[in-house]
Structure 1
Amino acid sequence: MSDGGHPAADGDGGFRETAAEPRVAAVPLAHLSLELGHLYMEDFEAGPERLRRHFAQVRPWAEAARAAATARAGGKRPRISTCFLIDDYFTRFATPAEVVPMLLAEAGRAGLTVDYLARESGCAVTGTVPVAEAVAGRIVESPPPGSHGLRPPAVETGWLANGERGPAARAPQAMKRAAAWQPPRETAAWRHSVFLDAELWSEDDDGRRTWSCPFLAAVWQLARLGLLRHEGEAVLVPRPHTGDGFPADWDELPALVQLTERPAAFSAYRTCSVLPNRFLPVEHAVRVVLDQIEVDATALAQATGRSRQEERDAAVPDSVADRISYVFYAGR
Structure 2
Amino acid sequence: MAGGVDTVFRETSAEPRVEAVPLAHLSVELGHLYMEDLTAPDADLGAHFARIAPWVDPPRLAAVARVPQARLRVSTCLLIDDYFSAPGSPADVIGQLVTAAAGAGLRVDYVARESACATAPRPSRPGPASRPAAGGAGSYPADDDGEVSLAALVEAALVADPPFGATGVRPTPAQIGWLSNGERTPGADGARPAAAMAGETPWAPPRENAARRHSVFVDVELWDVPRDARVWSCPMLAGVWQLLRLGLLRVEGRGAVNPVRMDVEALPNRWAELPPVIQLADRVAPFCAYRAMSVLDSRFFPVEHAVRTILAQVATDPVVAEQALTRAGQEGTPLPRAVPDRLSYVFLGS
Normalised to the residue count of structure 1, the TM-score between the two structures is: 0.88
Deviation, structure 1 residue 297: 1.4
**2:154 aligned partner:** 135
* Alpha carbons 1:32, 1:271 under 8 Å: kept: yes
Corresponding residue of 1:180: 202
- Structure 1 residue identity aligned to 2:158: I
1:4 aligned partner: none
Note the C-alpha offset of 1:260: 0.8
Map residues 1-332 of structure 1 onto 2, 5 A cutoff: 17=10, 19-46=13-40, 49-63=43-57, 65-69=60-64, 72-127=66-121, 128-168=147-187, 178-206=200-228, 208-242=229-263, 244-311=265-332, 314-331=333-350
Question: 2 CA distance for matches of 1:42 and 1:234?
Answer: 32
1-structure distance, mates of 2:309, 2:196: 40
Distance 2:176 2:256 in 1: 26
CA displacement 1:65-85 (0-9 Å, x = unmatched):
424247x21343200000000
- Rate the CA distance shift 1:301–1:16 in 2: closer, same or farther, 3 A: farther
- TM-fit CA distance, 1:143: 0.6
Aligned to 2:140: none
Task: Tell me how far apart the structure 2 counterparts of residues 175 and 113 of structure 1 sit (CA, whole Å).
Answer: 62
Q: Is the 8 A contact 1:161 1:196 kept in 2?
A: yes
Mapped partners of 2:25, 2:207: distance in 1? 36
Unaligned runs of 5+ in 2: 122-146
Q: Is the 8 A contact 2:37 2:43 kept in 1?
A: no
Offset, 1:20: 2.0
CA distance in 1, matches of 2:155, 2:314: 8
Confirm or deny: 8 A CA contact 1:31 1:69 kept in the other structure.
no
Q: Which runs of 5+ in 1 are unaligned?
A: 1-8
Distance (Å, rounded) in 1 between the aligned partners of 2:235 and 2:267: 28
Q: For residues 200 and 175 of structure 1, what CA distance do their matches in structure 2 show?
A: 31
In 2, Cα distance between equivalents of 1:89 and 1:315: 35
C-alpha RMSD over aligned residues: 2.4
> What's 2:144 paired with?
none
- Deviation string 1:280-329 (CA, Å, 9 cap, x unpaired) is 00000101110111112111111111011112xx4210101111111100
**Distance across 1 between alignment mates of 2:177 and 2:7:** 42
Q: TM-score scaled to structure 2, two decimals?
A: 0.84
Residue 138 of structure 2: aligned partner:
none
Give the aligned length. Answer: 315
In structure 2, C-alpha distance between the alignment counterparts of 1:273 and 1:248, rounded to whole Å? 28
Counterpart secondary structure, 1:118? strand
Is contact 1:135-1:219 (8 Å) kept? yes
Q: Equivalents in 2 of 1:287, 1:175: separation in Å?
A: 36
1:142-168 CA-partner distances (Å, limit 9, x unpaired): 111122333211010010000010113
Distance 2:120 2:319 in 1: 21
Structure 1 position 47, deviation (Å): 5.4
Pairwise CA distance, 1:14: 9.8
Which amino acid counterpart does residue 107 of structure 2 have in structure 1?
T
Alignment-mate amino acid for residue 21 of structure 2? V
* Deviation of 1:236 (Å): 1.5
